[in-house]
Chain A
Amino acid sequence: MAKSSFKEALESGKFVITSEIGPPKGTNIEPMLHHIDLLKDIVDGINVTDHQSSVMRFPSIGGCLAIKERGGEPILQMTCRDRNRMALQADLLYAYTRGIRNVLCLTGDAVPVGDHPTAKGVFDLDSSQLLQTIRLLESGKDMGGNDLNGSPEFCAGAIVTPEANPIEPQLAKFEKKIEAGAEFIQTQAIYDLENFAKFMEYARQFNVKIMAGIVLLVSARMAKFMNNNVPGIFVPDHLIDELAAAPKGEALNTGIRIAGRMVKQLKEQNLCDGVHIMAIGKEEVVPDILAAAGIQK
């Protein structure tokens, strides 16, 4: 079977660019399709989030099919929050037959932080066990020890939070994910390149591609909010000041400039293997971020 084009990009040694879309709450998929069309030719892969923040939405597998239909390269985000091991395996088999070749394995946010706070959180597997499961299915077996009639092949990845505090338990899990077969890692948002460079000094010892997470900042307020409320995010003061100093109506452009500058620096300094750009609700400006970074596909 031909490798996924995302995997080819990872293995080519080029600086890989991915971005992501969030499916809608409802059946109006037009905005999502618009975002797919905007991104599909300028990035190496598009992640589709899986009920992000435990908010019930159109499924990630549906978003990935839409990307395939429109000629893009999907990266299926799969969390362990909503499906047991039987459903996860079944979805992997289905995804493969529909041409979805890349999977990002996540534990998933806790149920009570989302919009169905009384639902049952499944967590039959965790992210490292899901990675092992993918490798098992590829070997022609399922988790029950049964033979598969036709087995899938995926480019499987996971995430890490380089700014986690304390970092040591996070790194132990990171190493387990690599051991379990993660080929690529998309990081939680990073903003402090010195801290990230230190993380990369450690991460370089492993045979895994690291893509730095870039979350677009749209205002100083958002940056402060993330510092106070989002686990593992550290926006340095100088970036908050830069956003705060933007003239009225210009904060978004400043955020685009900051994101573009970070992508450029990461690439020029060869700090990591690529970036994963998350524009959360502002997917229209991803091309502007890439332009600000001087990247053209």
Chain B
Amino acid sequence: MKSITKQKDFEAVKEILEPFDRIFIFGCGTCTTMTHTGGVEEVAEMCGKLQELGKLVTGSTVVPTACDEVTEEIMKQHGQAIENATAILVMSCALGVQKIASYIEKPVIPAVDTLFIGVEDTPGTFKEACDQCGQCIIGETAGICPITACHKGLVNGPCGGTSNGKCEVDKERDCAFTLIYNRLKIQGRLDLMKKYHEPKNYHVEPRPKVIKVS
């Protein structure tokens, strides 16, 4: 499982950093390293671009896993460089950005957009697998989640836009219900295609979602 990100346009980063002249940059050694959006190379490249803009980069580091507790310790090690900065630019997914933002009061600014939580489908290709809806039905849909695999998140079968097993939104993308049908057929469970699913509860755990594990 990885948090899949894409880099923001540099123009957007430039605009939001406009009021700030001294920047500390965080990268992440886990998800954004793998997607080449915030690893060692990308952080170095960002340093260069900001310096070209005339900004002072007070320091940079690529933490092992930005959303982990260890990040706080690493921030302490870089205490002076962070103190010298007027803003923190973070090249991790939003989980890391928020983790870092929770430790300091300085403006913390994301340099990437977080797209989805994905699993590796084929080498280098990640697909969204779970929307964390709190009502898992994949036991009845042959292990394929229609909430994420169907563009409309339908649960009761395909819409009229499916064609040759593909989705109306993009002919390169599979129709979830063709995949589900094919696999249920192999499993000898096609009767499940006809099972009616009630309207979903969109508030199994209402937002803001917080769970305390004892």
Interface residues, chain A, with chain B CB atoms under 8 Å away: 81, 85, 106-110, 112-113, 121, 123-129, 132, 143, 159, 161, 164-166, 168-170, 172-173, 175-176, 179-180, 188, 231-232
Contact = CB atoms under 8 A, between A and B. Distances in A.
B169 interface: yes
A129 B156 CA distance: 8
B50 interface: no
A60 B111 CA distance: 43
Interface in B173-214: 175, 177-178, 180-181, 190, 193-194, 196, 198-200, 202
Given A123-B152, A129-B198, A129-B199, A169 B163 contact: no
A112 B151 CA distance: 10
Contacts of A107: 152, 154, 159-160
B161 interface: yes
A125 B160 contact: no
B164 interface: yes
Contact of B157 (A121, A143, A176, A232): A176
B25 interface: no
A158 to B, nearest CB: 10
B157 A231 contact: no
Given A107-B160, A123-B152, A169-B180, 18 more contacts: A106-B160, A110-B159, A113-B161, A123-B154, A124-B200, A126-B156, A129-B156, A132-B196, A164-B163, A169-B157, A169-B158, A169-B162, A169-B175, A169-B181, A169-B193, A170-B158, A173-B157, A232-B162
A164 to B, nearest CB: 7
Nearest to A132: B196
B165 interface: yes
Given A168-B181, A180-B196, A128 B156 contact: yes
B155 interface: yes
Contact of A231 (B163, B178, B181): B163
B192 to A, nearest CB: 9
A106 B152 CA distance: 13
Contacts of A179: 194, 196
14 contacts: A81-B152, A85-B199, A108-B159, A113-B161, A126-B152, A126-B156, A126-B157, A129-B199, A159-B160, A161-B160, A164-B158, A164-B162, A166-B178, A168-B193
A59 B67 CA distance: 46
Given A110-B151, A125-B199, A168-B181, A231 B156 contact: no
Contacts of B157: 126, 128, 169-170, 172-173, 176
A231 B153 contact: no
A169 B152 CA distance: 16
Nearest to A160: B160
Nearest to B192: A172
Contacts, number: 100
A137 B205 CA distance: 27
Contacts of B162: 164, 169-170, 231-232
B212 to A, nearest CB: 29
Closest 5 CB pairs of A and B: A173-B157, A231-B163, A172-B193, A107-B159, A169-B177
Contact of A124 (B190, B193, B202): B202
A138 B180 CA distance: 33
Contacts of A125: 199
A172 B193 CA distance: 6
Nearest to A117: B169
Contact of A112 (B155, B169, B200, B202): B169
B168 interface: yes
Contacts of B181: 166, 168-169, 172
Nearest to B200: A124
Contacts of A123: 152-154
B193 A110 contact: no
A169 B160 contact: no
Contacts of A143: 199
A169 B199 contact: no
Contact of A126 (B155, B161, B178, B180): B155
Given A107-B152, A113-B168, A143-B199, A231 B194 contact: no
B178 A110 contact: no
A108 B152 CA distance: 9
A173 B150 CA distance: 15
